[in-house]
């Protein structure tokens, strides 16, 4: 019989390396028509970082995402980057890209200021224009300014910058210190059906509420949460690398290393928490790793809610849950005809037969 249960788990997770320097550098070049190129040493590994960086640069320059071309991942031509690791790209490389874009933008302001009859500090960039703060009618198209910068002023707008989160080393005796620039927080709630005869667990629903600071691109944040939750389901229920007594791998293949397919993952409901981090680019933090952190705990708690057994080691395979159920039944004194409810419980779970 299938019993339904729900469980929650919350978590916190840091952005960047523990104490150690993990800088990123970036270069932004503004083209003569007002579009731009970003050079970054980061590597796109699927998470969509290059799109996020383009959006950050575009925002700073007041142009559109599609106006920014990103060149990445070549040690000859792109500046250093500590890498696509520790959920740091949006925060660290993003800050570097934003600062580099700002420097290039300031060159444009210096060029535009005399043309508009103001000081550079009076200018803003938005909607493809450079205009006077508080008097947007006085403006120039960013392409015109960029072209003027090159052919008349001889000041090509190029900005280069680097960023490293501020940390404080941990005391070796007490571990006290400031290891990270910022942290993200999240809660996931899982609903599962547990077959109390076979121990099989099916994840029916996952609600994931994640903080990422400002969501630079909500669609990509959702993608990260959905993917992370799927990985979390695998960690909770299916995946395990097995070794024999001699230390040789038993299941080094996808036939016997079970990981989630489209049949194992439910629809994942993603919620992005309203949040803003002043130390991040436009308030952004990061999201890559946190997405799978609470999933296994939420599922394990849901299993307990469903059938009253607490799985203390992962993965919570059917065999493990089955054995735990058996052990529980053996411990309980037999109750024949004792007052068991005939209706479903508050959560709509089926009655005990």
Partner 1 sequence: MENVTLKLNGETRSASVPPETTLLRLLRDQFNLTGAKLGCDVGDCGACTVIVDGKPVNSCLMLVGQVDGREILTIEGLATADHLHPLQKLFEHFGSLQCGFCGPGVIMSAKALLDENPDPSTQEIRDALGGNLCRCTGYTKMIEAIKGASCILRGEEVPAGKSA
Partner 2 sequence: MADKPKVVDKPDVLQRPDILKPQAPAPLVTFPVEVVVPEGRQQTPAVGQRASRADGRLHGLGQTKYIDDMYFPNMLFAKIKRAGIASALIKSIDTKEAEAMPGVIAVITGRDIPCNSFGPSLKDQPVLADTRVFHAGDGVAAVAAVSEQIATEALEKIKVVYEPLTPVLDPLESLKLETPGIHAPSANIYGHKIIKKGDVEKAFAESDHIFEGSFRTQMVEHVPLEPYACIAQWDANGRVTIYSTLGRITLGRADVGRTLGIPMSRVRIVATVVGGNFGGKNEIRAEPALALLSKKTGRPVKCVYTRVEEFTSSTTRHPLIMDYKTGVTKQGKILGRKIRLVLDGGAYCSWSETTLGKACILSAGPYNIENLHAEAFVVYTNKTMTGAMRGFGAPQVCFAYESHMDEIAHTLGIDPLEIRLLNAFDEGSLSPTSQKLHSVVVKESLLRAAKLFGWNGLGDAGKGNGA
Cβ proximity of 28 and 162 under 8 Å: no
- Which residue from 24, 42, 47, 188 is in contact with partner 1, where contact means CB under 8 A? 47
Query: With CB cut-offs between 5 and 8 Å by kind, which of partner 2, partner 1, none does residue 246 bind?
Result: partner 2
Cβ proximity of 52 and 107 under 8 Å: no
Query: With CB cut-offs between 5 and 8 Å by kind, which of partner 1, partner 2, none does residue 263 bind?
Result: partner 1
Binding residues for partner 2, how many (CB under 8 A)? 144
Of the pair 23, 83, the CB lying nearest partner 1 is at: 83
**Does 306 participate in binding partner 2 (rule CB under 8 A)?**
yes
Which range touches partner 1 (CB under 8 A), out of 69-77, 263-271, 273-281, 319-327? 263-271
> Both tokens of residue 89?
């790209």
> Both tokens of residue 184?
């993200």
User: Regarding beta strands 36-40 and 68-72, do their DSSP bridges make them parallel or antiparallel, or are they unpaired?
Assistant: parallel
- Which residue from 12, 21, 33, 45 is in contact with partner 1, where contact means CB under 8 A? 45
Give residue for tokens 């990260």: 224
The least distance separating partner 2 from the CB of residue 319, rounded to whole angstroms, comes to 13
- Euclidean distance between CA atoms 37 and 31, whole angstroms: 7
**Does 71 participate in binding partner 2 (rule CB under 8 A)?**
no
Cβ proximity of 90 and 49 under 8 Å: yes
Interacting positions 296-315 with partner 1 (CB under 8 A): none
Interacting positions 11-30 with partner 1 (CB under 8 A): none
Interacting positions 152-171 with partner 1 (CB under 8 A): none
User: Regarding beta strands 201-210 and 24-30, do their DSSP bridges make them parallel or antiparallel, or are they unpaired?
Assistant: unpaired
Q: Is 269 a catalytic residue?
A: no
The least distance separating partner 2 from the CB of residue 251, rounded to whole angstroms, comes to 8
**Does 9 participate in binding partner 2 (rule CB under 8 A)?**
yes
Classify each residue of 156-184 as buried b or exposed e, where b means 16 or more C-beta atoms within 10 Å of its C-beta: ebebbbbbbbebeeeeeeeeeeebbbbbb
Of the pair 15, 116, the CB lying nearest partner 2 is at: 15
Interacting positions 222-251 with partner 2 (CB under 8 A): 228, 231-232, 234-236, 239-241, 243, 245-249, 251
Q: Taking the C-alpha atoms of 239, 244, 249 and 250 in order, what is their torsion angle to the nearest 10 degrees?
A: -60
Binding-site string for partner 2 from residue 310 to residue 339, where x marks contact by CB under 8 A and - marks none:
x-xxxx------------------------
- Which residue from 37, 279, 318, 322 is in contact with partner 2, where contact means CB under 8 A? 279
> Both tokens of residue 277?
């981090």
- Which residue from 257, 264, 265, 322 is in contact with partner 2, where contact means CB under 8 A? 257
CA 47 vs. chain centroid, Å, equals 8
Which range touches partner 1 (CB under 8 A), out of 4-12, 140-148, 180-188, 228-236? 228-236
CA 124 vs. chain centroid, Å, equals 31
**Does 62 participate in binding partner 2 (rule CB under 8 A)?**
yes
**Which phi and psi (to 5°) does residue 111 adopt?**
-75, -40
- Euclidean distance between CA atoms 290 and 256, whole angstroms: 27
Q: Which residues form the catalytic set?
A: 289
């Amino acid at each position: 019989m299938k019993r339904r249960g729900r469980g929650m788990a919350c978590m916190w997770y840091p952005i960047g390396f523990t104490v150690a320097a993990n800088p990123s550098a970036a270069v932004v070049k503004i083209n003569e028509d007002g579009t731009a190129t970003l050079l970054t040493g980061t590597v796109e590994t699927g998470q969509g970082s290059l799109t996020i960086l383009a959006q950050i640069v575009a925002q700073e320059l007041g142009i559109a995402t599609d106006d920014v071309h990103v060149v990445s991942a070549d040690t000859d031509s792109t500046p250093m980057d500590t890498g696509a690791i520790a959920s740091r790209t949006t925060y660290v490389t993003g800050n570097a890209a934003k600062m580099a874009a700002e420097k290039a933008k300031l060159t444009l302001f210096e060029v535009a200021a005399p043309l508009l009859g103001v000081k550079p500090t009076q200018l803003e960039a938005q909607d493809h224009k450079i205009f006077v703060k508080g008097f947007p009618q006085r403006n120039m198209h960013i392409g015109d300014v960029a072209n003027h910068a090159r052919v008349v002023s001889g000041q090509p707008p190029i900005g280069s910058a680097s960023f490293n989160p501020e940390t404080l080393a941990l005391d070796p005796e007490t571990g006290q210190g400031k290891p990270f620039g910022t942290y993200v927080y999240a809660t996931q709630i899982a609903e599962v059906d547990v077959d109390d005869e076979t121990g099989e667990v099916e994840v029916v629903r996952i609600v994931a509420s994640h903080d990422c600071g400002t969501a630079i691109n909500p669609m990509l944040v959702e993608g990260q949460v959905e993917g992370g939750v799927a990985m979390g389901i695998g960690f909770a229920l299916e995946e395990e690398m097995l070794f024999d007594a001699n230390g040789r791998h038993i299941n080094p293949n996808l036939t016997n290393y079970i990981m989630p397919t489209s049949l194992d993952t439910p629809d994942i409901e993603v919620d992005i928490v309203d949040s803003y981090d002043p130390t991040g680019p436009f308030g952004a933090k990061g999201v890559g790793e946190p997405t799978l952190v609470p999933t296994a705990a939420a599922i394990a708690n849901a299993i307990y809610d469903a059938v009253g057994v607490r799985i203390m080691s992962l993965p919570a395979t059917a065999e493990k849950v089955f054995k735990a159920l058996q052990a529980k039944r053996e411990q309980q004194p037999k109750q024949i005809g004792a007052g068991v409810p005939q209706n479903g419980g508050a959560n709509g779970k089926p009655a005990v037969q």
